[in-house]
Structure 1
């Protein structure tokens, strides 16, 4: 018996204690109490009627959707123990600006799906919520026809992508970097500058490319727009199972020889100077990204005057490394955040983080990623003793 089938069977029997605790189910009420809700068993499985509580709006979800619920349970959207949903536990509530995506209740408030006026929740939202069924299955979500991106672009959406674009566009844009650096001298450290964080899981942002403007786009350069892919691939749900979030590899196999996105290459030229076009395009992005980080380190030490180190496990990620040992400097037990930002360095670091914050960018918009990395690397190399042309990178 497969794990999923075993889970569903246990769910209906009320025996999977951990799973029941996770999704808020209780034992089925007596037969007399459930007569109005009784539904025939599905493919031989006994029925289990959910109580009128929890995040599922059980009066709207029928028993045959048990498999969808089981798929959701193993997704990141349901993981109530993850950092995405526990970050504010000590405070006891989630700030309105964060609750929009880190709580189903906050999402509904933001779009006015709970009867309130659309906009950020008026009050912090209690912790404990996840991306529940009502986040994506609310009957009023179809009324959301456009999402305003962090760049200010009003992007039209259909109901199948409204939730995805709302929460996977990040919280900053190239315009945020432009505003931060204003007209400051490009290579002069400024203590008033701080790292601009594009946020996390930026699939919607990267897929929109230059049209969305969510990466820092250098003046005078042109950028690939929305990655429309092939015709059958038009929204997030074209590739991702809506509940488990897993990639449906059969979609890839309609056009590609492999269903593994990491092995797919959509270009016959090498972008990383290796000349190897037999590997997936992700390898080119990773190689150029490593080069950019190396240039960021060289520039920080040689031009900004303070070595820098990246630590992805601690915000704000970039820290001072005065002794050059590859570890963040500390003071009183706390890491010393990098404080020698120049406008040129900030632009490159933002783009590096933008590209690496979307672990599927090689599928969502590989050309946009390569363009952002190339332009950032070229800009830094111009201030270093680096022969950029000899690297044989392609844009």
Structure 2
């Protein structure tokens, strides 16, 4: 463990030295790239994404794929191993380093299988991003977990299904990726294709700093405030306004769904739920006997809505990655909970 952390620290120290003032004066493209990478979350050895397993002998295989550059390379067979599995222990302490993305395997299009079981033939080098930004769960998993159960009856076998963090690829793919829980009988937005010149993650995000290259948006949308952008004129949150960015509709609907989840838990389940922005996310509310402990009184209807809430809000860029898919999931979850309570939420029109 100490040896691994020493190696990471030594690598970072070397790169900092390379990117120092003396070399910066040369305006070298390599220096710029190193500086950008060093400032990104991918290079931060102190991030919980990389320190969560500190003190353990190895990162669990199903986590190592994305929480270690070495694990990623093992999963994709960059090191000559079998593709699709982690077949040797990955010691904690690594980061998403240069070779994670810059290798012969990831330089070519690769098929990426999402948690839903759907395989997407990724274009260009998108497979690198898709691998770790697809989430860890799916709508079909929620459907399978609740199949055959009475919608509003508490079932002791149910537990919250966590889609994990930053599922940008699953959001962008929409129904083609199966990331959200999709209510039977309704249609859902497929992949959000944006425009012809923007088809890959790095068309919007700097591949090293990870920051959004705002000027590529300004050329068409005329603003650097990305949350103010709106190209759809529907009133999707029922506030009577269409002059704000689509981000505002998603934010408003997310708030409404969170409130509906709480109201349903009181009126139907009779065990109040609360959301906290950390694991385990859904807990017993403060005024209950088990306040603050993991919530266990799940009905199928409540679990489906809670999953969609977490899926949408876990992608802070949903308004750009696939706004209509996010809105559809929120709309349908709110309507489903409201229907069970005999309450109509004025949430505007549903995009089609």
Q: Normalising by structure 2, report the TM-score.
A: 0.91
Inter-partner Cα distance in structure 1 for 2:79 and 2:23: 32
Q: Which has the higher contact order (CA 8 A, sep 6+)?
A: 2
Aligned to 1:269: 234
Matched, 1:45 2:26: yes
What stretches of structure 1 of length at least 5 have no aligned partner? 1-18, 29-40, 47-62
* Deviation string, structure 1 residues 64-114 (Cα, Å, up to 9, x no partner): 412101100001111111111111113242111100000000000001000
Q: 1:44: how far off?
A: 5.0
Q: Give SS of 2:112's match.
A: strand
Inter-partner Cα distance in structure 1 for 2:249 and 2:344: 19
What stretches of structure 2 of length at least 5 have no aligned partner? 1-7
Query: Superposed, which structure 2 residues align to 1:1-395 within 5 Å?
Result: 23-25=12-14, 44-45=25-26, 64-143=29-108, 145-313=110-278, 315-321=279-285, 323=287, 329-330=290-291, 335-388=292-345, 390-395=346-351
Q: Give SS of 2:170's match.
A: helix
Q: 1:253: how far off?
A: 1.6
Q: 1:24: how far off?
A: 3.9
Is the Cα contact below 8 Å between 2:76 and 2:105 reproduced in 1? no
* Deviation string, structure 1 residues 150-190 (Cα, Å, up to 9, x no partner): 11111011342111000000011101101111211111001
Inter-partner Cα distance in structure 2 for 1:233 and 1:275: 31
Q: 1:266: how far off?
A: 1.6
Is the Cα contact below 8 Å between 2:237 and 2:249 reproduced in 1? yes
Q: 1:353: how far off?
A: 0.3
Inter-partner Cα distance in structure 1 for 2:176 and 2:155: 31
Inter-partner Cα distance in structure 2 for 1:249 and 1:292: 30
Aligned to 1:60: none
Aligned to 2:3: none
Residues 372 and 321 of structure 1, relative CA distance in 2, 3 Å threshold = same
* Deviation string, structure 1 residues 238-290 (Cα, Å, up to 9, x no partner): 10000001101111122102122111012112111112111111000000110
Q: 1:233: how far off?
A: 1.0
Q: Give SS of 2:83's match.
A: coil
Inter-partner Cα distance in structure 2 for 1:272 and 1:329: 34
Inter-partner Cα distance in structure 2 for 1:82 and 1:71: 17
Residues 253 and 143 of structure 1, relative CA distance in 2, 3 Å threshold = closer
* Deviation string, structure 1 residues 191-243 (Cα, Å, up to 9, x no partner): 11000000101111100011111100000000011000011111101100000
Inter-partner Cα distance in structure 2 for 1:191 and 1:90: 34
RMSD of equivalent CA atoms: 2.2
Inter-partner Cα distance in structure 2 for 1:26 and 1:111: 26
Off by >6 Å, runs of 4+ in structure 1 = none
Q: Normalising by structure 1, report the TM-score.
A: 0.82
